[in-house]
Structure 1
């Protein structure tokens, strides 16, 4: 099923959670797929979703630049399976008549798809196994967006150094 980024939230322990939701479902309805991701990946996804300016390219911006320079494009990403609590994804790249699929972490796949405008998909079996009812309210979404905007105002390039 095709999904969209419904948001990135913090769980009770402060871990970042990517929320993927079927594109045909309204907020607060249906299911959402939570995938725990690292802070840098969460930031990269939010920067792309919000089209926020950054002073220098992030790693995913660099990857898109390389893909574009080689004449390829990301046509699709898919969260393909879950194994012992670990999610797996694939990125499909095309260049002319050639298509290749590469293994990726879901967070990287989603970060690239949001930049490339590629469709994001989740295997039905993954949503059935790991999806949870969507109970997000509009006030929750507004608070998350406000927190992200505050983060962008306060972030410095040095915060991204390893």
Structure 2
């Protein structure tokens, strides 16, 4: 895990678009979970395919389901709290070779710390800390452009389909 100290505030920048979870569903083709993020101030949609365990961690928190013992992301939250750190925001920061990257921004002892993370883990932590989720504008543009390529026409069709789903079709976080 990479960490680096930053002396810049973890406040959101103009390059970041605030997103919210629109839904959590199963991809009917690959049978893999998809987190669907939606721009809070617009209509941009970003689907991110994730692992089943990470999707489960997100679903448990979305549904406020208590577990008898701390799950991994609960443990991470407890560790940060006990070390006097606080997660301020998460940013899906990069799309490289069809893989999304994220950064978790923490405050610790008056210093801002940026930690590299998978988007699914970052989102699971953001939900537990009730902090904002952002996506870099370049990531939104890159995901749109890659979806318009000749080899990924199905991704663009899926994006249009996701944008037009109503709450019943989205499943409200059911998997």
> Is structure 2 residue 172 aligned with structure 1 residue 145?
yes
Choose from 37, 52, 62 the match for 1:20. 37
Residues 59 and 4 (structure 1 numbering): CA distance in 2 closer, same or farther, change over 3 Å? same
Pairs aligned (count): 142
What is the distance in 2 between the residues matched to 1:77 and 1:147? Answer: 23
| Contact 1:88/1:103 (<8 A) preserved | yes
Distance 1:125 1:10 in 2: 26
Q: CA deviation at 1:16?
A: 0.5
In 1, Cα distance between equivalents of 2:65 and 2:31: 23
Q: What is the aligned counterpart of 1:75 among 72, 84, 88? A: 88
Gaps of 5+ in 1: 149-162
Q: 2:62 aligns with which of 3, 27, 49?
A: 49
What does residue range 101-140 of structure 1 map to in structure 2 within 5 Å? 101-131=114-144, 132-133=159-160, 134-140=163-169
Do the aligned residues in 2 keep the contact of 1:34 with 1:130 (CA within 8 Å)?
Answer: no
Q: State the alpha-carbon separation in 2 of the partners of residues 3 and 147 from structure 1.
A: 20
Q: Where does the alignment leave 5 or more consecutive residues of structure 2 unmatched?
A: 1-16, 145-158
59-68 or 6-15: bigger deviation: 6-15
TM-score norm. by structure 2 comes to: 0.76
Q: Where does structure 1 differ by over 4 angstroms across 4 or more consecutive aligned residues?
A: none
What TM-score do you get using the length of structure 1 for normalisation? 0.82
